[in-house]
Chain A
Amino acid sequence: MEKLPLGLALDLRKVVPYKTGSWRTLMPVNIMQIPPCNHGCPAGNDIRGFLRVLAEKNDYEEAWHVLTRNNPFPATCGRVCPHPCETDCNRRDFDTPVAINSAERCVGDYGLEQNLEHKKLISERKEKVAIVGSGPAGLSCAFHLAKRGFQVKIFEANSEPGGWMRYGIPSYRLPNYILKQEIEKILNLGIELECNVKVGVNIPMDQLTQHYDAVFLGIGAQVGWSIDIRGKDAQNVFTGVEFLKQINSGQIVEVGRDVVVIGGGNTAMDCARVAKRIGANVSIFYRRTRVEMPAITAEIDEAMEERIMFRYHTNPVKIIADEGRVVGVLCVQMELKEPDASGRARPVPIEGSDLVYPADTVIMATGQAVDYDGIDIHKIDNQWISTNEDLMTSMDGVFAGGDAVLGPETVTAAIGQGARAAAAVENYIDGNVQGRLAQPPVIYSKDLNTYYYKQSRRFTKEAESIHMRLKNFREIYPSFDREEIAKEAERCFSCGLCFDCGNCYMYCPDNAVKISPSGGKYEFDLDFCKGCGLCAKECPCHYIQLTLEK
């Protein structure tokens, strides 16, 4: 037997530490959860992901790549998206939501400025996919398919790609050069684009289904609907779609002095603000009130700032024309009664409240429809394309998405549909039947331990003065300071994902939280963890949770 030093009965070097982990009934686990911003994003952006990259590394390049993994239009969405992510942000219950939309725009602009390129996931495949329409849905679908190696060809009816982003959204909201660059980056993945080809008119639909393995219809809803009133055939009566298309194609439209816009949606706001910039006095006529207006709140606010007159409870009944030209609109006042099928209050005319408003131009932005010329497909309500869960239409191998399926929706929603359709097209071509993967749970503010967060001021974007705005079609928000945006990103709570605060590491009374040697930030030493739950309780972002011992 080895001789031990005096006083020792046991060789201490051979002692095994006492493993207190056997006491445990509950054990801590790291659970990555979906933050409400990611959950609420129609395009499926990894918002927490790109904000964390900005906050931790201030690395705009990586942030751009994180963002464009799902959405090839960060600069566009950063300008036009109504950002449901900010509405859902858990920080709203603490102080103010993170300015996600501004951060997205800043990252998108950085990508364009530095000319960053999308990366292909796998090399070429031989299967061919045709995309009809180069709007947000079509381009997003093309982008995701091209990244997965498919041979993609886009057919566009207009002379330039972009769909409603190009011909609908005015350039003070989305400058043309930004959109052009983002589309160029997508096309650089090896996507073929053929403009001035209208599928169903110039090429029959059958030809596509025969020559391609799959077809995606992203044809949008680009036919303006006008309400059926007397005198609508007069000169200078446009639908909203026609008007915006003419303006965005660079045509000069003579609107005269007084412009009346009918409707309360985003198209109505766009038409009104465009007409204001041309120099007219603009008023918006809407049957209900501001509360019921379907337009994006910020758009309505900006329109009001630009001194556009809002006439609520006003319904046009007749357009008065003189020698074929509009001179006025006869309106009747409405009052709101119990809600109708759409959930909005039902307007009912008040007798004897007729009034004539002078008008040189009337723009009717009262709805949009799909142009089905030459495309014979099963529809819902004879209006929107009917699809199954995988966005496949009644025709085998023909998928659809965007406004043509959803009805007039946001750019972001169309991008999300394009991405979903791309996944469905891949499964269809590969013959996979893929069940939907179980999604991690969404984390809400009640689960967070906000003690560790500090209150701070939200980044606010500064608009040009109204006087300057109305002079031209320049973008109304000049570009943002990158340092400020990086600071704003630090306000992100990182809900449901470790952000390396070190609380678990410092608070564990048993020293059972170790710095992980394998890349992850911290890991539990379950040999010694007693399962007290202190780490879970003090984890600010609820990444650590307790579960029953296995």
Chain B
Amino acid sequence: MSDKAEDLNRVEKKDLFASGHRACGGCGQALAARLVQDASGENTIACVATGCLEVFSAPYPDPSWRVPFLHSLFENAAAVASGVEAAYKALNKGPVNIIAQGGDGSTADIGFQSISGMFERGHNVLYVCYDNEAYMNTGVQRSSFTPFGARTSTTPMGNTTRKKNMPLIAADHGIPYVATATVDDFRDLQRKVKTALSIEGPKYIHILAPCPLGWGHHGELTVEICRLAKDTGLFPIYEIIDSKVTNARKIPVKVPVEEYLKPQGRFKHLFKKGVPTEEVAEIQKIANQNIERFNL
């Protein structure tokens, strides 16, 4: 293995995202944020949108962040990161890793225009989306990332629309690097963060981060659920480099979606006395489409 490949594949743990944050036990987002932070290293500026991550990790006076941290509004993390990057350019400083981060709400709904603008203007910023498939911070309201069939406080009978496919939307801006990852495979996740940071221009990484509270599963299942999301085909893992889908993770043994849905409280209404309703068939269809589309 060459030095560079070895560097990319090495697992990093630097404690740049310290203990003592107020996330729930088994929080996928806290885990993901730490893995991203440790992969990018000390030379990083974190621009974080409002959301769980900001609320649990940044209260004054004991934030978890051991790197410069900017909290912005719900809608403008990407715009603030763009400004930081422009300021560094103007001051002729750097290089520095600028990572804009947000949950699914701030990425797909409220902050969409600022992200789209950042991609379009071509800022050298990595945008990381922690996808927990609803507005968890404000009490589990539906977002445009909420998957079909999931119960949230605003869709008590189950969501009737499909999840917005943000990675492909981001890729269609023509940005150089887009990737999806989950918290269960930390090697893969950290490799993708490091790969993204080594590329000049706007980058987007979409990380599935289970929320034990909002998804209604026990905290210890966070990693297991991620694994099932991958193996059912509901969350395909791939990279898009220069508009080409590459490195799609092959599913070793395909798992029916019931396995993924059953441990989660938000899908409980899809099983009447253990018998799956027709929504489950619909979700299986979505999974099959993903498998076909990305050749998993």
Contacts and interface: CB of A to CB of B under 8 A. Distances in A.
A and B, one complex?
Answer: yes
Interface of A: 10, 12, 15-20, 23-24, 451, 502, 505-512, 525, 527-528, 530-534, 536-538
Given A506-B186, A509-B28, A510-B30, A20 B223 contact: no
Main secondary structure of the interface of A (DSSP, over half): loop
B218 interface: yes
B221 to A, nearest CB: 7
B259 interface: no
Given A451-B227, A509-B31, A531 B25 contact: yes
B223 to A, nearest CB: 5
A511 B34 contact: yes
Interface of B: 11, 13, 15, 17-28, 30-31, 34-35, 60-62, 183, 186, 212, 218-224, 227
Given A12-B61, A19-B20, 7 more contacts: A18-B62, A507-B223, A509-B34, A510-B19, A511-B34, A532-B27, A536-B220
18 contacts: A17-B62, A18-B20, A18-B21, A20-B20, A24-B25, A506-B13, A506-B186, A509-B27, A509-B28, A509-B34, A510-B21, A510-B25, A510-B30, A511-B19, A530-B219, A532-B220, A532-B222, A533-B26
A532 B26 CA distance: 5
A23 B25 contact: yes
B223 A534 contact: yes
Contacts of B60: 10
| Chief secondary structure at chain B's binding surface | loop
Contacts of A536: 220
Nearest to A535: B220
A370 B31 CA distance: 67
A489 B18 CA distance: 37
A7 to B, nearest CB: 11
A534 B183 CA distance: 12
A20 B222 contact: no
Contacts of B224: 537
Contact of B25 (A505, A511, A530): A530
Contacts of B31: 507-509
B17 A511 contact: yes
Name which of A502, A505, A528, A537 has the most chain B CB atoms within 10 A of its CB.
A537
Contacts of B24: 530, 532
A534 B20 contact: no
B219 A528 contact: no
A17 B18 contact: yes
B21 A537 contact: no
A537 B221 contact: yes
Contacts of B23: 509-510
A532 B225 CA distance: 14
Contacts of A12: 61
A506 B22 contact: no
Contacts of A507: 31, 183, 186, 223
A50 to B, nearest CB: 29
Nearest to A506: B186
A124 B19 CA distance: 54
B25 A532 contact: yes
Contacts of A24: 25
Contacts of B218: 533
Contact of A533 (B15, B21, B22, B219): B219
A509 B183 CA distance: 10
Given A15-B61, A15-B62, A17-B62, A512 B219 contact: no
B220 A525 contact: no
A534 to B, nearest CB: 5
A537 B20 contact: no
B207 to A, nearest CB: 13
A185 to B, nearest CB: 44
A534 B220 contact: yes
B66 to A, nearest CB: 11
A511 B223 contact: no
Nearest to B221: A537
Q: Which of A15, A18, A19, A531 has the most CB of B within 10 A?
A: A18
B249 to A, nearest CB: 15
Contacts of B21: 18, 20, 510
Contacts of A508: 31
A16 B62 contact: yes
